[in-house]
Amino acid sequence: MLLFVGLGNPGAKYAKNRHNIGFLAVDRIAEDHGFGPWRSKFQGDVSEGRLGSEKVLLLKPGTFMNKSGQSVGEAMRFFKLTPEDTVVFHDELDLAPGKVRVKRGGGHAGHNGLRSLHAHVGDSYARVRMGIGHPGHKDKVSGYVLSDFAKADADWLEAVLRGMSDGATDLAGGRQERFLNAVSLQTAPPRSSKSATQAEAPKSKSPTSDTQDTKTDSTSPAPADRSPLQRLLDRFK
């Protein structure tokens, strides 16, 4: 069994915040892959289902971001899971909006949700880092992550969520490159090449057609209208 954790803050007030992109990710996976209904458990909300051959528990901690580790730790202990069985989806200030990276282990870089997870379950869990961009100054970070996504973010956000849902089965199966490829196909689809007919220059006329006079004397009868004697006389003109 695997545990997929989306980080965020509970309640309608925070639902569209940048800090809640982890919640949005697991919500999308649950919806697209036919997971069971959300129910309250482990100090949060859980939904169960399958991704390929893997049984997966989705978890949205209800403890607020800075205490996420309490909820995750409780779920892991109940199912006897290790950090290696756990994948955490979270917002990432150090990545541009729409960029997604996967890593295992490492520091928390000041992220309060990851800081709590480190304290309760260690640091060897896998992370799906979803870029939301940086406001430009550290003093603006709190207000930025706790603000709603802008209307201008709608397209890239939808592409990221769709791509992660498309690649979720590969992520569960340990195929990280294929997961990232699925995301990339939505966020940066390959451009279609121009057709050969658009690039091809118009064909020029042959030299013969440019110089050869193909006009006929409009006063002369067409060959089919001339008598055998007239056609014979033509040969001696």
Give me the pLDDT at residue 189, please: 83
pLDDT band at 86 (very low <50, low <70, confident <90, very high): very high
**Strand, coil or helix: what is 5?**
strand
Burial class (CB in 10 A: 0-12, 13-18, 19+), 75: buried
Q: Is the dihedral of CA 147, 153, 159, 162 positive or negative?
A: positive
Give me the pLDDT at residue 217, please: 43
Give me the pLDDT at residue 12, please: 96
Query: Percent of the chain having pLDDT more than 70?
Result: 81
Contact status, residue 45 vs residue 72, Cβ threshold 8 Å? no
The residue assigned the tokens 């014979």 is 232
For residue 162, give the amino acid letter.
R
Q: Which pTM value belongs to this model?
A: 0.79
Contact status, residue 72 vs residue 121, Cβ threshold 8 Å? yes
Burial class (CB in 10 A: 0-12, 13-18, 19+), 3: buried
pLDDT band at 59 (very low <50, low <70, confident <90, very high): very high
Of residues 8 and 205, which shows the higher confidence score? 8
Give me the pLDDT at residue 229, please: 52
Contact status, residue 90 vs residue 114, Cβ threshold 8 Å? yes
Q: Is the pLDDT score of 60 beyond 60?
A: yes
User: What distance, in Å, lies between the first and last C-alpha atoms of the chain?
Assistant: 100
Topology classification of domain 2-187: Rossmann fold (3.40.50)
| Exposure on the CB side of residue 168, measured as CA atoms within 13 A | 32
Give me the pLDDT at residue 207, please: 45
Q: Is the pLDDT score of 211 beyond 80?
A: no
Give me the pLDDT at residue 235, please: 53
Give me the pLDDT at residue 224, please: 52
Largest CA distance in the chain: 113
Length of the chain: 237
pLDDT band at 76 (very low <50, low <70, confident <90, very high): very high
pLDDT band at 227 (very low <50, low <70, confident <90, very high): low
Kindly report, residue by residue over 92-141, the tens digit of the pLDDT.
Answer: 999 999 999 999 988 898 899 999 999 999 999 999 999 999 999 989 99
Structural tokens at position 58: 């989705």
Give me the pLDDT at residue 215, please: 42
Structural tokens at position 139: 């003093």
Give the closest residue to 112 by CA, choosing from 162, 68, 174: 68
**Following CA atoms 223, 226, 232, 234 in sequence, which dihedral angle do they give, to the nearest 10 degrees?**
-60
Kindly report, residue by residue over 159-180, the tens digit of the pLDDT.
Answer: 999 999 999 999 999 999 999 9
Q: What does the alpha-carbon distance between residue 114 and residue 12 come to, in Å, rounded to a whole number?
A: 22
CB atoms within 10 A of CB 140: 12
Provide the annotated active-site residues: 19
